[in-house]
């Protein structure tokens, strides 16, 4: 059974109307966060305030770059050239890193968002674009990615550190891809379902939508801040892990 794990959350996902009530309720229960960099959500004021909130709660800070898709919240695959993709990621991660350092923090990791993440998991060209951008910023940067994915393999080959990520609030298909949000049952809202999936992760297994029990590597668990009831789920997950004597840490 796993005895130590990172609990991360996609956060700072406001644009033009920052309201830290949701994020401030989640932040005390997580060990790392992925801050939107402005291309799917997150304006400069939101980014700065979210960084300060993370520093206040001693939460490790990650950049959460996406396709340039405000209208679609970064959840649509975009047909960018290799140069465009690399530049988009370079721009976003550099900005988040610079703002974090200017406010007294250190950028801990990078985790692509939404469609960019899911496409890079299986598409080598997309994974290469992301990784090429990151290594220009920091050669040994930590990246969150699913184990045995194309993104994980490309990142490892380039010398990046990789932390294997799983999702507390998303259902898995039989090939261990995330079930599309356009399909029924893709997002887990129910506390019992979330904690049931979490229990499997601690034993390095997951039950898929097709009712298969498959092995999975879990080093960091993600909760989405826009999942219904995320504030309560963050505390429930945190408390459950503590009751199982699992250390919650980003180190």
Closest-CA residue to 176 (of 137, 217, 141, 136) = 217
59: its two tokens: 């939460």
Set out the domains of the chain in order of their start, with CATH numbers: 4-248 (3.20.20.370)
- Give the SS3 label for residue 206: strand
The per-residue pLDDT string of the chain (251 residues; one tens digit each, 9 = 90 and over) reads: 899 999 999 999 888 766 678 999 999 999 999 999 999 999 999 999 999 999 999 999 999 999 999 899 889 999 999 999 999 999 999 999 999 999 999 999 999 999 999 999 999 999 999 999 999 999 999 999 999 999 999 999 999 999 999 999 999 999 999 999 999 999 998 899 999 999 999 999 999 999 999 999 999 999 999 898 999 999 999 999 999 999 999 99
User: What's the rounded Cα separation, in Å, for the pair 85 and 178?
Assistant: 23
Q: What's the burial of 199, exposed, middle or buried (CB within 10 Å: 0-12/13-18/19+)?
A: middle
Name the pTM for this structure: 0.95
Look up residue 142 and give its DSSP letter. E
User: What's the rounded Cα separation, in Å, for the pair 136 and 141?
Assistant: 10
> Within 10 A of 4 (CB to CB), how many other CB atoms are there?
11
User: What's the rounded Cα separation, in Å, for the pair 233 and 214?
Assistant: 24
Look up residue 29 and give its DSSP letter. G
């Amino acid at each position: 059974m796993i005895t130590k794990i990172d609990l991360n959350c996609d956060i700072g996902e406001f644009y033009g109307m920052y309201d830290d009530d949701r994020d401030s309720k989640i932040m005390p229960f997580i060990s790392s966060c992925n801050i939107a960099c402005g291309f799917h959500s997150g304006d400069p004021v939101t980014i700065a305030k979210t960084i300060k909130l993370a520093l206040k709660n001693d939460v490790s800070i990650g950049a959460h770059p996406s396709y340039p898709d405000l209208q679609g919240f970064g959840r649509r695959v975009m047909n960018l050239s290799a140069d465009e993709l690399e530049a988009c990621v370079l721009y976003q991660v550099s900005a988040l890193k610079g703002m974090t350092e200017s406010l007294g923090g250190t950028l801990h990791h990078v985790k692509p968002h939404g469609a960019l993440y899911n496409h890079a998991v299986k598409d080598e060209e997309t994974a290469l674009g992301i990784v090429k951008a990151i290594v220009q910023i920091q050669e040994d940067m930590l990246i969150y990615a699913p184990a045995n994915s194309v993104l994980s393999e490309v990142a490892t080959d380039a010398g990046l550190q990789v932390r294997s990520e799983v999702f507390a609030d998303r259902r898995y298909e039989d090939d261990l891809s995330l079930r599309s949000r356009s399909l029924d049952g893709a997002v887990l809202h129910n506390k019992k379902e979330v904690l049931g999936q979490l229990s499997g992760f601690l034993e390095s297994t997951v039950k898929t939508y097709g009712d298969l029990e498959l092995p999975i590597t879990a080093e960091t668990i993600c909760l989405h801040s826009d999942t219904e009831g995320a504030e309560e789920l963050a505390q429930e997950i945190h408390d459950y892990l503590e009751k199982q004597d699992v250390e919650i840490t980003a180190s």
